[in-house]
Amino acid sequence: MVSASNNQALKIKYRDIAIFKFFKKIFSVNESSASASIATSPESQARIYPRAEHCISRAQISENALKVLQRLKKADYEAYLVGGCVRDLLLGREPKDFDVATNASPEQVKQVFRNCRIIGRRFRLAHVFFGREIIEVATFRGSELEESDQQVIHEDGRLLRDNVFGTLEEDVWRRDFTVNALYYNIRDFSVVDYTGGMQDHANAVLRLIGDPNIRYREDPVRMLRAIRFAVKLGFTLHPDTEQPIYTQAELLKSIPAARLYDEVLKLFLTGYGVQTFEMLRHYGLFAILFPATDKCLETEDHDFPRLFLSRALENSDLRFADGKSLTPYFLLSALLWEPLQLMAAKLMINGENETIAYQTAANEVLSRQIKITALPRHITQSMRDVWFMQNKFSRTVGSRPYRLLEQPKFRAAFDFLQLRAETGGADAELVEWWTHFQVADEDQRRQMTAPPKSGSTKPKGKPRRYRAKTKSSKPQ
Ligand code: ATP
Ligand code: MG
C-alpha cells in the first residue's frame, strides 16, 4: 500500500531523505578536495578523467552504442555510456550490454530514433533496437526524493516509481554502486566520476553510494546485486556496504516475485553460480530466495544435497564458460530437488504411491516457490518432466526404456541423473546402463531390456535409494 497518510512512516521517510541529502553533501565535499592531477569541472565536484587517464577505447564499444551516442550528441543532447559497460571496459572485459544516459526525455529519444520503443512503468526508458542488440537509453533521474505522480515511495522506503528527470549530477546519486556510476562522455571521451568510483574500481571495492541502510531499504534487490557484482568482478564489499546485508536480508520479501525470478537467473546462470551460492548463503539471502532448499541444507546431517547443488552449479558455470546454452529449468530442478524428495518421502511413508507422492510434492514445492520467485509455467513444466523421469530410469525392462528415450526432456533428465549419481544420490550402474542403452544397436537393446531370468524379480539397475535424513526426523 502506498501511504501518504501514515505520519510515522512519512517522518521516517523524510528523515531518510534528509540523511540522503546530507550524505550527498559530504560526499561532494570530499570529492572537491580531490588530488590536483585530476581535473575538476568548475560548477560541480566531478572528477574528470581525460582520455589519456583511462583505458577505454572506442574500439571496445559496440558500434550500435556508438551510433546512439553520436546521434544524441548530433541532436544536441548530452550522451554518456554508464553503468556496467563502463565498469567492465575499465577492467578490460567485454560488457554484457551497453547502457546510455542522456538529458533527452524518453519521448525526445524516440524522436531521434525510429527504431525505438519506450518501456517500463517504474522506470521509463527508451530501447533502441539494432537487430538483436538493444541499447538502453535512460534519461537522467532527478535527485529530489518526494511523493508525486512521477515518484512513488512506499512507507517502508522502497522506491516504487521513479520518473522524475534531472541532470547528470543528480542522476549519479540514484545509482547503486560507485563503480556503476562512472560516465563515459562521447563529447571528449573522458570519464566523469562524482562518487570516487574510479578509486574504488582501482582498489577493487564495491561500495554503495549514500547511506547503505537507506539505499537497501529503497531497493532491497541491491543486496543481491552487491553479491552478484562482488563475485563477478572479484571485488570486495566495502564494510559499510556489507554489514547491513546480514540484518536486512528480510527486506527482499517485499520484492515482486517476477523481479526476483529475473534476479535469480542473473545470480545463477551467468557463470559464477558456485561462488554466488556460497555468498548468498553466507549472508542469509539464499534462505529468502529458496527457503525450502535452505532448510534442507541447514538441517540434514549429511552432505549429499550440498554436494549435488554445488555440482549442478559447477556444471552450469562450466557450460557458461564454454559458451554453451543454459536452461534455467535444469538448475532450478536441482535447486528444488531436495525439498521435493523430502516431501515425496513423507507422503510415501504415509502410504501414498510413488507417482502420486512425487506429483503432489512437486505441486506443493513449486507453488510455494512461485510465490517468491515467479517461475514461468513453461519452466515449471520442464522441471516436472526432469523430476518425474528420475524414478522411471530404474525401469529398464520391456518397452519402457524405449518410451523414456523418446521423451522431449530425456537428455536433460539423464544429465540430471548423472549429476545425482556423481554425488551419491543415484546408482552409478544405472547411469552406465543408460549410457550404453542410448548408443546400443537393436539387438543389444533387446538383450538389455529382456525380462530377468526366472527366479529373479529384481529389475536391472534398480537404483540405490538414498533417503534424506533430517536431524529432527523421528526414526522410521
Ligand atoms: P550487468 O549489466 O553487467 O549485469 P550493470 O551494472 O550494467 O551490470 P544493469 O542492471 O544493466 O547492471 O544496470 C545498469 C546501471 O543502472 C547500473 O550500473 C546502475 O548504475 C544502475 N542501476 C541498475 N539497477 C539499479 C538499482 N537497483 N539501484 C540503483 N541503480 C541501479
Ligand atoms: Mg548493464
Domains contained in the chain, number = 2
302, 395: one domain: yes
Cα of 180 from ligand 1 centre, angstroms: 7
Q: What CA dihedral angle connects 318, 319, 322 and 327, to 10 degrees?
A: -150
Asked if 182 and 67 sit in the same domain, the reply is yes
Q: Is the pLDDT of residue 82 over 60?
A: yes
Query: pLDDT tens digits, residue range 317-347?
Result: 999 999 998 999 999 999 999 999 999 999 9
Mean pLDDT to the nearest integer, 198-205: 98
Protein residue whose Cα sits closest to atom 18 of ligand 1: 83
| Domain final position from 211, 236, 256 | 211
Distance CA 193, CA 201 (A): 11
Is 468 part of a structural domain of the chain?
no
Same domain, 173 and 292: no
Residues whose CB is less than 8 angstroms from the CB of residue 119 and which lie 6 or more positions away in sequence, other chains included: 125, 126, 127
In a domain, 441, yes or no: yes
Catalytic residue, candidates 97, 156, 385, 415 = 97
Q: Which of 176, 191, 211 finishes a domain?
A: 211
In a domain, 360, yes or no: yes
- Over the chain, what is the mean pLDDT? 86
* Residues of the chain above pLDDT 90, percent: 72
CATH number at residue 328: 1.10.3090.10
Instruction: Judge whether 457 lies within some domain.
Output: no
CB proximity list for 414: less than 8 A, separation 6 or greater: 393, 434, 438
Residue-number span of the structural domain to which 429 is assigned: 286-449
Residue 173 domain-assigned (yes or no):
yes
Give the global pTM. 0.84
Given this model, what pLDDT does residue 146 score?
55
What distance in angstroms lies between residue 84's CA and the mean position of ligand 1's atoms?
6
User: Catalytic site residue 76?
Assistant: no
* Predicted confidence (pLDDT) at residue 415 exceeds the cutoff of 80: yes
Q: Would strands 182-185 and 79-82 be described as parallel, antiparallel, or unpaired?
A: antiparallel
**Separation between Cα atoms, residue 15 and residue 9, nearest integer Å:** 10
**Is there a catalytic annotation at residue 176?**
yes
Same structural domain, 144 and 291: no
Q: Does a structural domain hold residue 56? A: yes
Same domain as 295, residue 156: no
Instruction: Check whether residue 295 and residue 195 sit in a common domain.
Output: no
Task: Examine the domain organization and report whether 168 and 301 are in the same domain.
Answer: no
Pocket of ligand 1 (CB under 6 A): 83-84, 96-97, 99, 175-176, 180-181, 219, 221-222
CA distance from start to end of the chain: 47
- Whether 200 and 336 share a structural domain: no
Q: Is residue 183 part of a domain?
A: yes
Q: For position 104, which CATH number holds?
A: 3.30.460.10
Residues 204 and 85 grouped into a single domain: yes
